[in-house]
Every structure is written in structure tokens, then in C-alpha cells.
Structure 1
Amino acid sequence: MDRTRLAGVVIAWYDRHARDLPWRAPDATPWAVMVSEFMLQQTPVSRVLGPWREWLRRWPTPSALAAEPVGE
């Protein structure tokens, strides 16, 4: 199987089986995706969804996080 055909097969599989996750949405920011990647390092998706949403509500941008006092 050549690369082009393999890519088509993989993309078709993804289209049918991919989970609907908020950090995969077209409007997800790079910040939201990065936060999800850190949280998902050793934690199941089901346990990350709530804290991820709360994190982005509280710190929607890197500058919002940087502006927090160190103790937070």
C-alpha cells in the first residue's frame, strides 16, 4: 500500500472513530491544546475534562496564568 492510500485509510478510520474532545475543536487555541497535553500525560481523558475546562475558565491564556500570584 502506498503512502497516499495509507493516509486515506487512516484519515477515514479517524473520521469514524475519533472521540469528540473539546481540545480537538476547530476553535481550540494552541494554549488549550497544550494544557490538555500536559494534563493527559498520565491521566485518563474522563478525569481530565472537568479540570481542563476549569483551568481554561480561570486561565484562558498564558498571560492570565503568568499574572497570578506565585502561591496560586
Structure 2
Amino acid sequence: MAKSSEIYPAWHAAEHKTWLFIWLARFRAWRKLRQDRLELASLGDAALKDLAIDRSEIPSIIHAGEKERRRNHAT
């Protein structure tokens, strides 16, 4: 029977580790965006108004950032 090191060379294992780290980083980033969206969505209308955020802007704020908001408020 062949050894696992003969079937799966070291470069193959390294490739899987790299893929795993990339996937994990993307998963963590997605989870952070989800958490931020849920946190903003949980705020009341008055709190959002104090922050100069309209409820309809939450997705654009989360995904594009504050500087690229779809609707700009006078500050």
C-alpha cells in the first residue's frame, strides 16, 4: 500500500492550506459584514436619524463604506 506522502505530495497539502486560509478569511469578512448590518438594522429610527443614516442606506453603507454612500447627507 502506498504511503499518504506518496499520494499527496507536500505541495498539494500546502495548496489546500492556502485555500483553507483564503476561505476562512472570506468567511470572517462575510460574518463581520453580516454582524454590522444586523447591528445597524436593530437600531431604532431615531438612533439612525441621529447618525444621519436612513434605513434604506444600511446595505450601501455596509458594502461600500460611508464615503461612497448612495445618498449624501449635509454634515
Q: TM-score, normalised by structure 1?
A: 0.30
Task: Give the number of the structure whose residues are more often helix, by fraction.
Answer: 2
Larger Rg: 2
Q: TM-score, normalised by structure 2?
A: 0.29
